[in-house]
Each structure stands twice: as structure tokens, then as C-alpha cells.
Amino acid sequence: MLQKLWHKKWMVLCLLLGCILLIATVVSFPLYRNAAFDRMIKDEFDDYVSEKGLWPAMNSMLMIAKNDREGKSIVKLENAMAEMDGAMGVTERERIYYYSLSKAPLQSTWNRTDLGTDGLRLGFMSNLEKHAKLLSGEMYSESGYSEDGAFEVVVSQDCLVNNNLLVGETFEFTGLADANKNMIRIKIVGVFAEEDSTDFYWQVKPSDMGIVALMKEDLFREYFLGENAYHYSITCQFFNLFEYDDITAEKVDQLMEKTVYYTEESAIRKTMSKPEYRELLENYLSKRTRIEAALFILQVPVLILLCAFLFMISGQMYDMERNEISVMKSRGGSSSQMFRLYLYQSTFLTLLGAAAGIPLGTVFCRLLGSTQNFLEFNVRRQLNIKFDQSVWSYAIAAAVGCVLIMTIPALKHSRLTIVKLKQSNALRKRSWWEKIFLDVILLGISLYGYYNFSKNQGSLAASVMEGQTLDPLLYLSSSLFIVGMGLLFLRLQPLVIHLIYLMGKRFWKPASYASFMENVKNGRKQQFIMLFMILTISLGMYHAVVARTILQNAKENTEYLEPVDIVIKEVWNKVPSSTDNPTDTATAAYMEPDYSRFASMPGVEAYTKVFLDERGSVKTVDKTQSACTILGIHTKEYGTITNLEAELTGKPYREYLNELAVAPDGVLLSANFRDVFGYKVGDSVEYKDRYGTIIQAKIVDFFDYWPGYEPTSITVGADGTAQKQNNLLVIANFATIQKNLGIYPYEIWAKLEPGATSDAIYEWIKEKNIHVVKYADKAAAMRQVVQDPLLQGTNGVLTMGFIVTIILCAVGYLIYWIMSIRSREMIFGVLRACGMHKGELFHMLINEQIFSGVLSIFAGIGIGTLTSRMFVPMLQTAYAASNQVLPMKLIVNQTDMNRLYLVIAGVMALCLLTLITLVFKMNVTKALKLGEE
Amino acid sequence: MEEDRSKNYIIEIQNVGRTFSTASGDFQALKSVNANIPEGILTILKGRSGSGKTTLLNIVGALDNPTTGRVIIDGQDVSRLSAFQKEKLRRKKIGFVFQSVSLIPSMNAFQNVEFSMRMAGIKGDHKKRVEECLKMVGLGSRMHHMPSEMSGGEQQRVAIARAIAHSPSIILADEPTAELDSAMAAEVTKLFQEMTKKEHVTIVMTTHDVGLMDAGDMVIELENGVQISQQADA
């Protein structure tokens, strides 16, 4: 067997390559999926932490135990919590107990009468000593008792001040006694505060412990829990924090299941509050299905091509071995023996393939995870690659697939005998697909899909918003379209060639004549390789366009929605009003912070003040109020930091700004004022800011797009259906707004110098100690687009698909040609003997290449372009439905196409080179001898 | 004097030797073979396999060059011709018939025969001549069959028709009967004989089939590259 393999080493190498690529591609899918999902979860939690400053991975419980017999319910709850903690399967970070007794009156032993309180709650917080610092005094002692036997307690600053307590003072609870009816006494030994205010231990802030005195935990437990609990009413709070870094994709299901169980079904459900992380995980889960489906769907065509490649090469190999097989059969080798031989051979190759394919899969996975753009990689953020059971099962499935694909053709061949071989050689008939008009059927299905989807493009967007996945049918339609067009081409190609042949039948030179004959008569043999070429090239193109378009549109969209590099909105203080009525009214005056400070922002090219009120309203023609956004701008400055492509608005952006600049009382309105409400240029319009100050204005112009403006948005209603809504935007002169509203908080919009980063601005804000209520960073938003798992995964899969496709295309074409020439060497010998010179032979082969190869390549390019034009807009909708504002642009990146053409040209050149060497090295007598043997 | 004489012979084999270099040293396939073959006869090159007859035939057909000696065809020293001139010679003056199936599989019988006329650059309507040749070999009724639809004997007859179609002066046939049964072999040989008469063509065929020896007008026998006999029946 090994000897046999060595004999056909090139074919075997191709098969091996196919196996390796197939296994690597299949394995990279779960690897990437798992790693990307881990990252997605971490991002969800990280974002939550950085946005809200809270620890989301936490379960909390609250129970008030009144007259609890023997403290059983508390023990039960504590046990339940410990059990839950274990059941979640995630590493615990911190378990916090915060128990307190109900408020009880007390009096100072110093007989002070100026106490600010009528009572305190005595309690404890577990591990307080590790997280608190003391502002004055000291922590309760190891024993927990003071010298005179009172409980030592610490209180918060608020508690101390509000209640007018003193450190060192001892109090007696008048309404609280221990089990032996002895009065409880406490001594305040210290005042505590958070050691670190960002420490997530502080689920209950010291500032919220206005009437709480904290004592040592074991003393509290000794005196008030267990058997003694019966006498008290105890508020028990548990906070169970766990490490969200530890929540990996495979733990999510268990975590979710247990969370649902404990919060909705278990005995302790009523004590539990809805955990924050549940929404994060639900968010993740809904994205997960979508991403998983999208990635899978995108990978299917590449997998099919890989299978086709393996099938083609192994078929070719068996074809070469046909004679051997039929001889062996005629000498008595049984079909099952033959089959077993090939089964061993395939298994051997597959094992080799797996040995190389699985490591390659991890490389693929890393590449997937570092995809920055189509065919661009950036390894800044590494994925954490893990091999779990799912990876191995995928690998095994792929390996079994490989073996089957490589062995099935043998099944067909192992039944051959010499007689049947001769017979099958004589068969010349139409392919089965031509007879059943498969091409027409496939085209019909895909065009029906295309028609349906394009008719319902709007609802397609809505369905994505409602949480549905990328419709597999949509992607399937495009794939079917490619296959259908490819088959149609195969049906037509022989007719065209035949027509050309007939046109010049008499005049063809012998070489052309022979190549025409070869193609007319034997063309069907080449159908598979031609279809393969068409599919690889058109899919490659299609994938390139899909990837570029989706990402580029998402980027441009973000670019549009984030009109400037940096937006800063400072906290403005109100002028202390003489009347004690600090409500938000239009009359409330603000103190304008020092605007000149912004001049020192580093790396800023230009900046301007912008008034933005997203809760304004406008009186529409039918006298009702509609919500609108009001934007007040300094036209000149605004124009230098923002820009808009003229093709979006129909006329240069600057013209709008100029129109507004010359009309102090003018406004620019979004086009829906005109289209929905029937306003005209020159009409007057009345709009109000959020506090109701009315401003009268004249309409200067309408615009379709404005930097950052979304004409319509889709929102998902309470019933889960998506609704489209018009957004109104009013743009006025900043000066006019300020004249009407007075001094009012504005935003600073800044444009960075080329090469400057937002980090410097961020540092500057910290350094200047500017309190910010809004900070928008375009670069960060752009980074998020690139790192979005769906986009990145799509890009990655398409990029990998493109690379694999190109390899297959190159290798498949080369091997096919070499084999096809080798198998006809004898005929070439005959032709040479008949006096055909090498040039003519070469000419003949080139002709053949043109008829099948070059034509298929052009067909592939044509079909790829057509498919992109038809289907990419819809795919794009499916991806970006939620926030695609700009009209979709089809991005055909010339570099990608050039790369593709370059590879094709390289392959063709290599083919030519092989042809030249084969033809010129060919020894006529040897070639003829070949026939004799 | 010698020049005059040579005109009677279409093929003159003069002192032809051929040595192949192989891994295990030089191998002398032919040693100084001499023969003069007159126009319009059927010559049989006889000998066991490995005796060098195919090598000799290839040299005569300008497919191979002799190491020593020379072959003169129609008064032209073949070894002095350029590759292009040799190709031209093969195209116009020589027709080949090979041992195994040598038809172009993608062409039917008619097209295979016509192809040699194209190769020879013969202008005008080929149809009549092609039909004539196929009828000559007894395949008038199977003109549009593909090679794969014909038996070995039929295919070989198509190959013969192809070799004659462009009216060459010489047909070189390398073991044309090797894969045929003896009845068929006899028939093919008979066909060759007829053709020498009808088309006035010179045919050289190799064979190891002793039964066919009598058919030749001239027999050249080789053994281990050495010419052991040459007899002319005429």
C-alpha cells in the first residue's frame, strides 16, 4: 500500500492537502467559536463594570427572620446559599454576610441628652476588617468585648455625625436584651470607611449605614443567632460575588439553568433578587445563536468545496488505477478486498491529515481571531484557545468524512471488471444533471429566494432586530445561485465551442482542429474541474465582496454616526438660586465653566461648542407636538470639524452651513418634516427645548442626512415586534439658541490632529479634573466595530474561506491539468510522429486550456460579480439592520480582486510552465513505447 | 554511378547503428544495418522483440537519429535535416501505423483519417479521399463511429486508412498486427500488399509473426541489433 502511495505521490500529496485543510477548517470552527464566545462574555461583563462601576456577577439575598425558631431558617438559607454557590460552577470571589437586628432605642452611659437618634441597628458585616479603613479610633478587638464587657462596635462617618455619637462612648440598648434578659451594651471604638471605594465588597456603602453599628461576626452569631434567634428580628443580606473571568462559554448553560432554578423555582427564590448578570448572559445567548448560525452558514460552501476537491482528486486517482483494479478483479480479487485496500489507504491519509490538520486548525483559529479586515490580521488580542470535547468531536466527524469521501469512489471502481471498463469507456451520454435540468431548477429556487428577500427587505431588517438569526435561506439562495449559474455555463459552454468550431471548420489548423475536437467530444470529462473552478472563483469573489461590504459599511456607518473624534460634555453647576426651588426650569441659570481651558487640549486640530437637546419638541402642522432633537451649531467652526459626502445630501454640505449662517433665525430641518408633515422652505416653525422654551424660526432648507443623524430608527416594542420610527432633527444657529435659552450647557466637539489619539485627551481631562457627563470617543467606537464578534467572525471565516478556496483552486487546476496531459502522452506521441511539431502541440494544449480553464475562470469572475451585486445588499441588511443608516454601498476592493487575479495568473503561468516542460521533454519514441506497454 | 543507382531505392539504410546510454552502460540496439528498399514494395522487418526492429523503423521514420551511418529517403539524407524539415517529411511523405491503438479518441473514424490530411496541409475537399481510404480498408459503413465503439482490428484499419490518406510515399508500420488475431493479421497484411499495388506506396512493417513473412516482397531479419539476412522475393 505504501509503495502504491509513493508511486502516485503527487496525487497523494493533493489528497493529504485536502484532508489537512478540511480537518483544519472544521476544527477551527469550534475552536474559534468557543474562544470568541469566552471573549464575548468577558466583554459583556467588562463593559458592564466599566460603564456602571458595579460587579454584575453576583447573587444577592435578603431575608428578614422574625422569631426564627432555633434560627433554622437562617441556617437553611446560609446552607442554600453555599449549595447554590457550588452549583453555579463558577469560582467564588467573595461571600458577604451583612446581618443586622431591627432598630432598637439606646441611651448613652455618659448621660448625654443630645443624641441625634432614637435608635441604632446592631449588626455585622463579614470580613469587614479586611475591607475597611478607620477614620478614627480602632477596629473592634479580637475578643470583640470592651474592658467593661460591652460589645465593641464601629460605625460609619455618616452614622457618627448624623446621630451625634462619640468615639469611645458606651451605650445601653433600652429595647434590646440578650437571651438571658441582660441589657446589651455597645462601645463605639472606631469610625470606618471604604479602604478602596471601587472595592466590590461594598455592596452596601458605609454612607447607607446611617444607623448601623457593626460588631464582631462570631459574637453576633453567638448572641443573636441559633437558638437565640427566636427573640429577634434579623435582617439578613447575602452577597455572593463570583469571578466572571471564570465564566467560560461552556459554563454558561449550567450557570443560566441554576440561576433560573434558584431565582424562580427553588425554596429560596423569594429571598433572591434578580441578578444583573442574567441579562448579560441572556444578551450573550441571543447573540451566540446568531453568531454561531452565521459562522456556520458561511463556512458550509468552503466545506463543500473541500469535499468536492477530495472527491475529485480521489476519483482521478482511481481513474488512473482503473486498469490495475480491473486486472486485479479479473485475477480473482474480490470487491470487498479492493474496497478494504482503499479503506486502509484513506484511513492512513486521514490520520496523517488529522495530525497536521488539528494544529493547523489552531493556527486558523488564531488568524480568525485576529482578523482586522478582509485579509488583514492583527495579533494584538490573542484568543484563548482551548481544546474541549466539542473540538475533538468535530475533528472526528471531519476525519470520518474524509475517509468516506476518499473511499466512496473506490466502491464504484471496485465493482469494475475489464469487461465493464471497456463498456463504460464506450458510454457517452449527457450528465444526469443536464437531463433533470438541475441548473434551471437551482436558478429558479435561488431567484425565487432573491425575489422574496428583495421584496421584503424591510421586514428582513425587522426580523433581525427581533432577534432572528441570519436567515440561512438567504445565504443558501446566493450559494444555489452560484451553483446554478455554474451549471448553466457548463451546459452552454460546449454549444458555444461547437458553434465556433463549426464556423471555421474548414480553416482550422490541425492543432486548433484537434483541440476543438477534444473539447467537443471530451468536454464532459472536464465538467467537474470546470465547475470546481467556477465555484471556487465565484465564491472567492463573492466572499471578498461580502466581507469588505459588511465591514466597510459598518465602519462608515459608525464614522457617520460619530461625527467627530471627541465629544465632551462637562458637568455644569447651577447658579445658587435665591429661592429655594432648585427644580429644572428654563429660568434656572447655569454657571458656564471656563471655555478657554479647552484650548489646551492636546492633539486637537479644531473644536467647537455644540448645543444638543435630544428631548426637544416641535409643533407640527396639525398642531400636535412631536419629539425632536435640537442641534445648535457655530456654522463655521462646525463645518471645519465635521464633514458629509455630497452624494448623501444631493448638494455640498457646506452649502447647508452657509444657508444657515446667513439666516440667524433660520433652521435646517430633516427631510421628514417636508415628507411627513408637509413643511416647505420659507415656512415658519416653532420648536421647544426640553424645558419648554419656545423658539420661532424660518425654514431655510431640508436635508436627508446630517453627521450623526439617523433619519429613521427601528425599535423593538414590548410585544417583540419591530417598529420603524421617524427621527426629527432641527438645526439652528448656536447664537440664536443661546439668545433664547440663556447660558445653557453645551458640548465640546473636537477634531483630532492626524496621528493624535484620544488617550491624550482622556489624560488631559483627568489632569484638569474636569467632571464629565458625556464622553464620546470615535476611535473606541470604531475599535468596537472591528472587534464585534459577529463582524470579526464573519470576516475571519470569509478570509479563511477565501484563502482555502484559492489554494484549492490553484492545486486543483494544476493537478487536473498535469494528470490530463500525462494520461494523453501517448496520443501526443502519435501526433508528433505524424509530423506535428512541438509548437503546434503546445498551441493545441493552450487552446484546450482556454476552452475549459480560462473560460471557467472568466465565468467564475462573471458569476461572482453578478452574485455579489444581487445578494450582498441583502446580506448586509441582515447583518447591520439595527443601525445601518447610510445607504448600503457595495465594496469591491480592487486589491482583493487583483490578489485573486494574481493567484489565477500564477496558476495559469505554472500550468503553462508545466505544459512547456512536459511538451519539450517529451520523447516521441518513449511516448509511443508508453502505449506499447 | 552510385547517385544513379540510389534513385531506384526510396529508402537507403547505410551502415546504421544505434547505441542507447542506460544506467548500466551503453546498450547497442543496432549494429551497422544496411538495406536498400525499392519503391512500391512491402518490406517486412523481422525479428524477436528486442531485436532492434522498432529502433530501425523509428530511425527510418525520422523519429530517432542513428548513432552511426545514415538513412536516405528519396535521395535526402535524413540525419542532415533540421527538426522542422523532419516534421515536414513525416507529415508529407510518411504515414505511421502503430502497434497499439493510436487513434485520437476524441475524433471519429472519418475525422481521424481527415486529420492526417490536415496535418499534411492538403487543400481542397478531403471528404472524397477520406471515404475512398476508409472504403479501401473495408470500413465504408463505419465512418462515423468513435474509436471506442470499434474493435481492435477495426481501429487498426482506421489507423492504416489514416496513414495512407495524405498519399505518402512511405508507410511505416510498427507491429500493426501484434494485437490482432491471426485471421485479422493476415487480412491487414493483405491490405498492405494491395496498397503497394494500388497506391504505389512503399510499406515497411515490423513483425515477429512468422506466419506473415511470406507476404513481404522483401524481408530484413534482425537479431540482437545485427542484420542476419535480407532477401528480396521480387
- The verdict on a CB contact (< 8 Å) between B64 and A925 is yes
Structure confidence at residue A74 (pLDDT): 85
Contact residues, B window 59-78, toward A, CB-based 8 Å cutoff: 61, 63-64
Please state the pTM of the whole predicted model. Answer: 0.72
- The verdict on a CB contact (< 8 Å) between B91 and A931 is no
Pairwise pLDDT comparison (A198 vs A93), residue with the higher score:
A93
Residue-range definition of the domain harbouring residue A932: 464-474+496-560+780-933
Of all residues in chain A, the percent with pLDDT exceeding 70 is 86
- Chains A, B: CB contacts within 8 A come to 79
- The answer to whether the beta carbons of residues A531 and A863 sit under 8 Å apart is no
Q: Which of A40-44, A897-901, B7-11, B172-176 has the lowest mean pLDDT?
A: B7-11
Of all residues in chain B, the one with the smallest CA distance to A424 is B148
The verdict on A581 and A687 lying in the same domain is yes
The verdict on A92 and A208 lying in the same domain is yes
Phi, psi of A902 (to 5 degrees): -60, -45
Q: Which residues of A touch B98 (CB under 8 A)?
A: 830, 833, 928, 931
Residue A382 pLDDT > 80: no
Of all residues in chain A, the one with the smallest CA distance to B115 is A510
The verdict on A629 and A513 lying in the same domain is no
A306, part of any domain: no
Structure confidence at residue A725 (pLDDT): 80
Question: Looking at residue A264, what DSSP letter applies?
Answer: I
- The verdict on a CB contact (< 8 Å) between B104 and A932 is no
**CA A574, CA A589: separation in Å to the nearest integer?**
6
- The verdict on a CB contact (< 8 Å) between B88 and A835 is yes
Structure confidence at residue A117 (pLDDT): 76
pLDDT band of residue A618 (cuts 50, 70, 90) is confident
Mean pLDDT score, B13-19: 88
Structure confidence at residue A190 (pLDDT): 92
Question: Looking at residue B62, what DSSP letter applies?
Answer: T
Q: Is B122's Cβ below 8 Å from some Cβ in A?
A: no
The verdict on A91 and A197 lying in the same domain is yes
- The verdict on a CB contact (< 8 Å) between A833 and B92 is no
Q: Where are the beta strands (DSSP E) in B23-136?
A: 25-38, 42-46, 68-73, 76-77, 94-97
- Condensed to tens digits (0 to 9), the pLDDT of residues B190-219 reads 888 888 888 888 999 888 777 776 778 888
Pairwise pLDDT comparison (A117 vs A682), residue with the higher score:
A682
- Condensed to tens digits (0 to 9), the pLDDT of residues A21-37 reads 899 988 888 888 888 88
The verdict on A693 and A820 lying in the same domain is no
- The domain that holds B75 is classified in CATH as 3.40.50.300
The verdict on A540 and A666 lying in the same domain is no
Q: Is B115's Cβ below 8 Å from some Cβ in A?
A: yes
Exposure string (b/e) for A676-692, b if CB count within 10 Å is 16 or more?
ebebeeeeebebbbebe
- The verdict on a CB contact (< 8 Å) between A827 and B149 is no
Average pLDDT, chain B: 82
A88, part of any domain: yes
- Condensed to tens digits (0 to 9), the pLDDT of residues A504-543 reads 776 677 777 777 777 666 666 677 778 888 888 888 888 8
- The verdict on a CB contact (< 8 Å) between A834 and B92 is no
- The verdict on a CB contact (< 8 Å) between A837 and B84 is yes
* End-to-end Cα, chain A, rounded Å: 23
Cell digits of residue A824: 494523453
Structure confidence at residue A931 (pLDDT): 40
Mutate to test the interface with A, among B84, B106, B158, B172 (most CBs of A within 10 A): B106
**CA A199, CA A241: separation in Å to the nearest integer?**
12
A703, part of any domain: yes
Q: Which of A143-147, A312-316, A332-336, B165-169 has the lowest mean pLDDT?
A: A332-336
Looking at A192, A223, A242, the residue that finishes a domain is A242
Of all residues in chain B, the one with the smallest CA distance to A513 is B115
A792, part of any domain: yes
A745, part of any domain: yes
Mean pLDDT score, B177-184: 78
Average pLDDT, chain A: 80
- The verdict on a CB contact (< 8 Å) between B98 and A924 is no
Q: Which of A435-449, A527-541, A909-923, B6-20 has the lowest mean pLDDT?
A: A909-923
The verdict on A744 and A694 lying in the same domain is yes
A828, part of any domain: yes
Cell digits of residue A567: 465629544
The verdict on A86 and A212 lying in the same domain is yes
Residue with cell 480479487: A333
The β-bridge partners of B221 are: B46, B229
Residue A154 pLDDT > 90: yes
Nearest by Cα to A756 from A602, A911, A560, A531:
A602
- The answer to whether the beta carbons of residues A545 and A876 sit under 8 Å apart is no
Nearest by Cα to B73 from B199, B226, B185, B202:
B202
User: Between A520, A835, A931, which is nearest B100 by CB?
Assistant: A931
Q: Tell me how many domains chain A contains.
A: 3
Contacts with A648 (C-beta within 8 Å, 6 or more apart), sequence order: A704, A705, A886, A887
Supply the ipTM of this predicted assembly.
0.78
Instruction: Name the CA radius of gyration of chain B, rounded.
Output: 17
Structure confidence at residue A885 (pLDDT): 67
- Condensed to tens digits (0 to 9), the pLDDT of residues A156-193 reads 998 888 888 888 888 888 888 888 888 888 999 999 99
Q: Which residues of A touch B102 (CB under 8 A)?
A: 826-827, 830, 931
Pairwise pLDDT comparison (A454 vs A190), residue with the higher score:
A190
The verdict on A803 and A665 lying in the same domain is no
Structure confidence at residue A153 (pLDDT): 92
**CA A410, CA A329: separation in Å to the nearest integer?**
13
| Amino acid type, A489 | F
Q: Tell me how many domains chain B contains.
A: 1
The verdict on A920 and A823 lying in the same domain is yes
Exposure string (b/e) for B103-139, b if CB count within 10 Å is 16 or more?
bbbbbbbbbbbbbbbbbbebeeebeebbbebbebbeb
3-class secondary structure for A875-904?
Answer: HHHHHHCCCCCCCCCCCCCHHHHHHHHHHH
Structure confidence at residue B6 (pLDDT): 44
At A774, is the secondary structure helix, strand, or coil?
strand
Q: Is B105's Cβ below 8 Å from some Cβ in A?
A: yes
CA distances from A379 to A366, A372, A510 (A): 8, 9, 57
Q: Is B110's Cβ below 8 Å from some Cβ in A?
A: no
Cell digits of residue B91: 507529415
A100, part of any domain: yes
Q: Is B119's Cβ below 8 Å from some Cβ in A?
A: yes
**CA A860, CA A863: separation in Å to the nearest integer?**
5
Mean pLDDT score, A205-230: 87
- The verdict on a CB contact (< 8 Å) between A834 and B91 is yes
Distance from CA of B213 to the nearest CA of A (A): 22
- Condensed to tens digits (0 to 9), the pLDDT of residues B46-79 reads 888 778 888 888 888 888 888 888 899 888 888 8
Structure confidence at residue A4 (pLDDT): 61
- The verdict on a CB contact (< 8 Å) between B148 and A837 is no
Mutate to test the interface with B, among A834, A836, A920 (most CBs of B within 10 A): A834
Question: Looking at residue A57, what DSSP letter applies?
Answer: S
Residue-range definition of the domain harbouring residue B176: 2-232
The β-bridge partners of A722 are: A716
A447, part of any domain: no
Pairwise pLDDT comparison (A827 vs A210), residue with the higher score:
A210
Of all residues in chain B, the one with the smallest CA distance to A839 is B84
- The answer to whether the beta carbons of residues A650 and A671 sit under 8 Å apart is no
The verdict on A765 and A786 lying in the same domain is no
Distance from CA of B118 to the nearest CA of A (A): 6
Distance from CA of B63 to the nearest CA of A (A): 7
Structure confidence at residue A582 (pLDDT): 45
User: Between A425, A509, A835, which is nearest B91 by CB?
Assistant: A835
At B7, is the secondary structure helix, strand, or coil?
coil
The verdict on A550 and A591 lying in the same domain is no
Give the helix/strand (H/E) hosting A707: none
Cell digits of residue A53: 462601576
Give the helix/strand (H/E) hosting A92: strand A92-101
Contact residues, B window 164-223, toward A, CB-based 8 Å cutoff: 174
3-state helix, strand, coil in chain A (%, to 5): 60, 15, 25
- Condensed to tens digits (0 to 9), the pLDDT of residues B85-100 reads 888 888 888 888 887 6
- The verdict on a CB contact (< 8 Å) between B105 and A827 is yes
Pairwise pLDDT comparison (A194 vs A645), residue with the higher score:
A194
Cell digits of residue A831: 501526433
Structure confidence at residue A930 (pLDDT): 43
Of all residues in chain A, the percent with pLDDT exceeding 90 is 5
Structure confidence at residue A14 (pLDDT): 84
Q: Are strands A170-177 and A183-194 parallel, antiparallel or unpaired?
A: antiparallel
